[in-house]
Structure 1
Amino acid sequence: MRFPRVKAEHRPQRYGDGRVRIGGSIYGLAAEIADPDGFAWAALAAMDGTRTPQEIAAHLRETFPGLASDGAAGIVDILMDSGYVEDAAARPPDEFSPAEQERYSRNIAFFRRVDLTPRAHCWEAQARLKHARVLVLGLGGTGSHAAWALAACGVGTIHCVDRDDVELSNLTRQALYREADIGRPKAEVAVARLAEVNSCLDITGERRTVTGERDLAELIEGFDALALCADEPRGREGIRIWANRTCVAAGLPWAIGGYSGPLVSVAAFSPGGPCYECLSAGIEATLPPGLSVDLGGPGAIAPSAGVSGHLTAHAIIALVTGVPAVPGGYVTGMNLIAPDQHVYARHPLRPDCPACGTLPPGAGPPVTGTR
């Protein structure tokens, strides 16, 4: 880092008791530093993008004559490694044209704010999106919104798959279609519509029915992530099980979104962690006998479909970019008619899982509960 600068979104504040707060008020991003001598505050103030790390350390030694050279350098190093500081000299990579820089400027502001991993420049996450190849399977309520969000955010290659034609009843919640599209294949319409959203991408599609694990294994080959937005066939031997087992075998991260009336959710999975079958078994073990969880059904309005699709897209973006660096193996969501009911569950890898039980012990995260 040549010229450290505190990110504008994380401008520090100092309290009378010597504490320094950096990261703003955003939950999960802010941090507090005990700074009774004012070393950190002075270093942060000097990180304005005009000084090198060595010059900032020298400034600290001048300001605090009793501070040793290695102590001053250590303070600067810690702050530069915190994720709240960027290199003012960094420029967007040459692979992004001026038009793309303008198009993705809000993306960059988002990643700069939420990404606390020190990086050479704030465009690294966007570059990962540009080179990512994502398969969107199912272009209904969840899938149409997810595909739009992935295209808008700049996922470089998107392949859209669906077996159905557009119907009149789709238009209440499926964002990519119009009345004039009724009777046309969803995949065909989706490709055309997404190309109008972002012409910088490679967007393809096909009308296809997935009939089993082998079929899906062929389909996911060459992709970096799967957004499963189809829910049929259902059941213990249905498409979610096919997706889980093929993605576990291929080491492919994937996410599945769904809704059942006002309940919307997304589950995300990454290689090496507990899989969909681990999570499902863990959730079912907490339910009363005879009660099952079924996300799906005809009851939906545009907001429930939209929220589920955007949760799915966000999970895929996180899996592809590592921002935020959250391991898969969880389900999260909300009840749109009961805002106080937050869905969250994470369960550990199950040694007897038929899909991932051969993974090394302890590969998955610990149980953190459901609320």
Structure 2
Amino acid sequence: MRLPRVKAQHRPHRYGNDRIRIGGAAREISDPDGHVWAALNSMDGTRTPEEVAARLLRTFPGLTEAEATGVVDLLLKSGYVEDAAAPRPEELSLRELERYSRNAAFFRGSGLAPREHGWEAQVRLKRSRVLVFGLGGTGSHTAWALAACGVGEIHCVDHDLVELSNLTRQALYREADIGSPKVDVAVARLAEVNSSVRVTGEARAVECEEDMLDLVRGFDAVAMCADEPAGRGGIRIWANRACLSEKIPWALGGYNGPLVSVAAFTPGGPCYECLTASVDAPLAPGIPVDLGGPDVLAPSAGVSGHLTAQAVIAFLTGIPAASGSYVTGINLIAPDQHVYTRHPAAPDCPACAPDALRAESLGSMAR
């Protein structure tokens, strides 16, 4: 880093004589001697790391050169500072830099891993290809959010037509679209949202695991927003196994009345079938789990879609860094009932257990 500068999102505040709170990170640093505070205030984008260390030595005569350098190095690795001399990324036009300036501010504030410049996350989005399967309540909001954020290529799949009852919650459609294929309307509308994004689509039904595998191949992430065919042997199982086979992260968004949630699955697992196994375990035999129905409002569909889009964006940018599969959500009529769980891996999972993966690998070699 040539000219370190504290990120605007992480402006430091002094508390008492021995603590510093970093703004956007909401973290505290113990600083009884004032060394860190002085270094942070010297990192204004006009000094090199060596010059910041030299200034510390002049301010604190008792400080050794190794100690001063150590303070500076610690801050350079903290993620709270950026390089004021970083060049503009060539992959983004001036128009895109203006368009995505708020995105960049979000990623700079949220991502603490040291990066070459403040636009790495946006560049990753632009390079990415995402499949959005299902363009209903969840999927329409998911697709809109991904297009608005600047995902480079979005492929939309849905075989339904727009119906009057869709208009209460499916954000991409209008009254004039009733009777038209959802995918055609969605592709056209998303292109109006962001002309820098390549949006494609197909009216296609997936009828088996092989269909799903053919569909997901080549994408960087999948947003699964469809629920038909339903059931424990249906489309979600197909998506789980296809994405495991292709090592693609995927997010499953949905709602059950006011309960809105998203499940995010990384190639390393645990997988969707591990999740269903943990849900089934405490149930009495023959008791089905209600995975959703027609009871929905625009807010529940919107929250569901945006949670799904956020999970996909995290997959693509690494902000936050992937830390395994999880389920999160909220009950819109009981906001204190926040959903968050990391379900355990099922040792005998037919999809992601070591024996299952080894068998799949052998089967692929045979084919």
TM-score, normalisation: structure 2: 0.94
> Which residue in the other structure is 1:10 paired with?
10
Amino acid paired to 1:200: S
* Partner Cα separation in structure 1 for residue 16 and residue 205 of structure 2: 64
> Which residue in the other structure is 2:363 paired with?
none
Deviation, structure 1 residue 344: 1.2
Alignment partner of 1:154 is 2:147: no
> Which residue in the other structure is 1:219 paired with?
215
> Which residue in the other structure is 2:270 paired with?
274
* Partner Cα separation in structure 1 for residue 315 and residue 265 of structure 2: 8
* Partner Cα separation in structure 1 for residue 318 and residue 134 of structure 2: 24
SS in 2 for 1:102: helix
Q: Which runs of 4+ in 1 moved over 4 A?
A: 286-292
Q: Paired residue for 1:112, among 94, 97, 108?
A: 108
* Partner Cα separation in structure 2 for residue 8 and residue 157 of structure 1: 31
Deviation, structure 1 residue 360: 11
> Which residue in the other structure is 1:20 paired with?
20
Alignment partner of 1:207 is 2:223: no
Amino acid paired to 1:6: V
CA contact (8 A) 1:252 1:270 kept: yes
> Which residue in the other structure is 1:184 paired with?
180
Alignment partner of 1:228 is 2:224: yes
SS in 1 for 2:304: helix
Alignment RMSD, CA only?
Answer: 1.5
> Which residue in the other structure is 2:87 paired with?
91
Number of residue pairs matched? 357
What pairs up with 1:352-363 in 2 under 5 angstroms? 352-358=348-354
Alignment partner of 1:303 is 2:289: no
CA contact (8 A) 2:152 2:198 kept: yes
Deviation, structure 1 residue 19: 1.1
CA contact (8 A) 1:226 1:253 kept: yes
Deviation, structure 1 residue 94: 1.3
* Partner Cα separation in structure 1 for residue 284 and residue 335 of structure 2: 24
> Which residue in the other structure is 1:60 paired with?
56
Residues 316-361 of structure 1 show CA distances to partners (whole Å, capped at 9, x for unaligned) of 0001111011323111100000111111111222220000001899
* Partner Cα separation in structure 2 for residue 87 and residue 289 of structure 1: 59
Residues 12-44 of structure 1 show CA distances to partners (whole Å, capped at 9, x for unaligned) of 1112241111134xxxx3221211111111101
Alignment partner of 1:319 is 2:315: yes
* Partner Cα separation in structure 2 for residue 273 and residue 37 of structure 1: 45
CA contact (8 A) 1:224 1:320 kept: yes
CA contact (8 A) 1:269 1:327 kept: no
* Partner Cα separation in structure 2 for residue 243 and residue 62 of structure 1: 61
Quick one: structure 1 residues 360 and 214, their matched pair in 2 at CA, closer, same or farther if it must change by over 3 Å? closer
Q: Paired residue for 1:167, among 163, 168, 187?
A: 163
Range with bigger deviation, 168-177 or 347-356:
347-356
Any stretches of 5+ residues in structure 1 without a counterpart?
362-371
Deviation, structure 1 residue 288: 6.3
Deviation, structure 1 residue 289: 6.1
Residues 194-251 of structure 1 show CA distances to partners (whole Å, capped at 9, x for unaligned) of 0000000111000000001100000011111110000111111010000001111111
* Partner Cα separation in structure 1 for residue 174 and residue 136 of structure 2: 13
SS in 2 for 1:341: strand
Quick one: structure 1 residues 48 and 137, their matched pair in 2 at CA, closer, same or farther if it must change by over 3 Å? same
Instruction: Work out the percentage of aligned pairs sharing the same amino acid.
Output: 70
* Partner Cα separation in structure 1 for residue 251 and residue 113 of structure 2: 23
Deviation, structure 1 residue 293: 3.7
Alignment partner of 1:80 is 2:76: yes
Amino acid paired to 2:197: L
TM-score, normalisation: structure 1: 0.93
Range with bigger deviation, 340-349 or 251-260:
340-349
CA contact (8 A) 2:129 2:154 kept: yes
Quick one: structure 1 residues 72 and 311, their matched pair in 2 at CA, closer, same or farther if it must change by over 3 Å? same
> Which residue in the other structure is 1:366 paired with?
none
CA contact (8 A) 2:349 2:356 kept: no
Any stretches of 5+ residues in structure 2 without a counterpart?
358-367
Q: Paired residue for 2:38, among 37, 42, 45?
A: 42
